[in-house]
Structure 1
Amino acid sequence: MKKLILAAIVCLLSVTYSQAQLLPSFKLGVKGALGFSTLHSEGKLFNSNTKTGYQLGLWGRVGIAGFHVQPEAYFANKKVGLKDGNESGDATFKSFDVPVLLGTKIGLGPIGFRVQAGPVFSFAQDGDIDFTQATNWDSYKKTSTGIIGGIGADISKLTVDLRYEHGLTNLNGSGNDNQKIRMWTIGVGFAFL
């Protein structure tokens, strides 16, 4: 009799969990992040001149059956260090970024862990280059693409993310150097819906 009752409880919980996974979910929130970026040029794996920037914006998430799509829109301030021989300086890339992340959430109720990845589209706003050897800011491309991947956690309405962004577009329009942004971000968000 105990085995029959236990089996009935397990079946009931399985059906309830699977029904909950089939119901669509929707979240909308705000986020902020710190970004640690470098401008990667060919021939260099790491740049010791990592600089800290930030991101501020909105995110949404639509999920069903354990998977979700998370579009975001935020203002990004990406700082990088530049070095050419004995001369060094900084550059700031300001952009409006739109990532579209696909992911899954593991967990029950208000606590869960996420794995996400997807493309990011960047639209340059303006920038500053404090480096005399650097080409003019106008020679840098105004749009670029990249890929983002990372992990995150949801605790009720609070979200925390750790992501890596890998630039795919050569930012230098003059064609002299193949320069791409590489960036780690640590973000915190809040879902108000």
Structure 2
Amino acid sequence: MKKYFILLCLFTATVFVANAQLLPTFQFGVKAGLNFSNLKSEDGGWLDASTRTGYQAGVWARIGGAGIHFQPELYVTGKSSEAKLIEEDKKGKVTFTSLDLPLLLGTRIGFGPAGLRIVAGPVVSFVVDKNIGESLRQVPKFSEYKNQAWAVTGGLGLDISNFRADVRYEHGLSELSKNDNAPQKVNLWTVGVGYRLF
């Protein structure tokens, strides 16, 4: 009798956990971090850009169930690069401040308060401020930038209780320059930490 009671308890617990996994959940939190970005010409022949450190701060949400979650995020991001025009022999710092909106799909591996996440998806950036070095501003092909850009990102995350940590790579899809003869894209790595508020 005792054996059947234990089996019944185990079966009930298994059904409860399975049903809980199927129910959608909602999380919301804050996040901040660093990015390491560079501005590249598509052919690599006229622009030599080195990586510089920027920042990222904002909020995230997670809606999920059955092992898959949707994770929209919104950040203020500062991206920077040290650009050198090979043909013009001019160099200077280029910075962008943007509102970035990643729309990610992911899955979580693990149980309880700890788990590993895998995420990927598109990112749309709305540039709110651009600062181009004085020497670069004199070069026509370098002086005009678009106010919106698309990228794709992917990476790994770690959940430990309410704390979050992420490492991602973001690859620029859109040409930032308004000059078709001078295509430029921003690629970056991001490292961030976050906290789940609820």
TM-score of the superposed pair, with normalisation by structure 2: 0.87
Contact 1:62 1:68 in 2 (8 A): yes
Greater shift, 83-92 or 95-104, is seen at 83-92
1:44/1:174 Cα in 2 relative to 1: closer, same or farther (>3 Å)? closer
- Are 1:75 and 2:80 counterparts? no
* Cα distance, 1:169 vs structure 2: 0.4
* Cα distance, 1:182 vs structure 2: 0.2
Q: How does 1:21-100 map to 2 (within 5 A)?
A: 21-44=21-44, 49-85=50-86, 86-100=89-103
> Which whole-Å deviations, capped at 9, do the CAs of 1:63-100 have from their partners, x for residues lacking one?
11111001011101000120113432210011011111
* Cα distance, 1:177 vs structure 2: 1.5
Q: How does 1:1-193 map to 2 (within 5 A)?
A: 11-44=11-44, 49-85=50-86, 86-133=89-136, 134-135=139-140, 139-193=144-198
Aligned-residue sequence identity (percent) comes to: 44
Contact 1:128 1:137 in 2 (8 A): no
Which ranges in structure 1 are unaligned for 5 or more consecutive residues? none
> Which whole-Å deviations, capped at 9, do the CAs of 1:130-156 have from their partners, x for residues lacking one?
152344876100011111101101111
Aligned-residue RMSD, C-alpha: 2.4
> Which whole-Å deviations, capped at 9, do the CAs of 1:90-135 have from their partners, x for residues lacking one?
1001101111100001111111110000111110101111152344
Structure 2: distance between partners of 1:170 and 1:24: 38
In the alignment, residue 177 of structure 1 is paired with which amino acid? A
Aligned pair count reads 192
Which ranges in structure 2 are unaligned for 5 or more consecutive residues? none
SS in 2 for 1:108: coil
* Cα distance, 1:12 vs structure 2: 4.5
Structure 2: distance between partners of 1:142 and 1:51: 21
In the alignment, residue 33 of structure 1 is paired with which amino acid? G
Structure 1: distance between partners of 2:32 and 2:135: 32
SS in 1 for 2:174: coil
Contact 1:117 1:147 in 2 (8 A): yes
* Cα distance, 1:14 vs structure 2: 3.5
* Cα distance, 1:24 vs structure 2: 1.5
TM-score of the superposed pair, with normalisation by structure 1: 0.89
In the alignment, residue 49 of structure 1 is paired with which amino acid? S
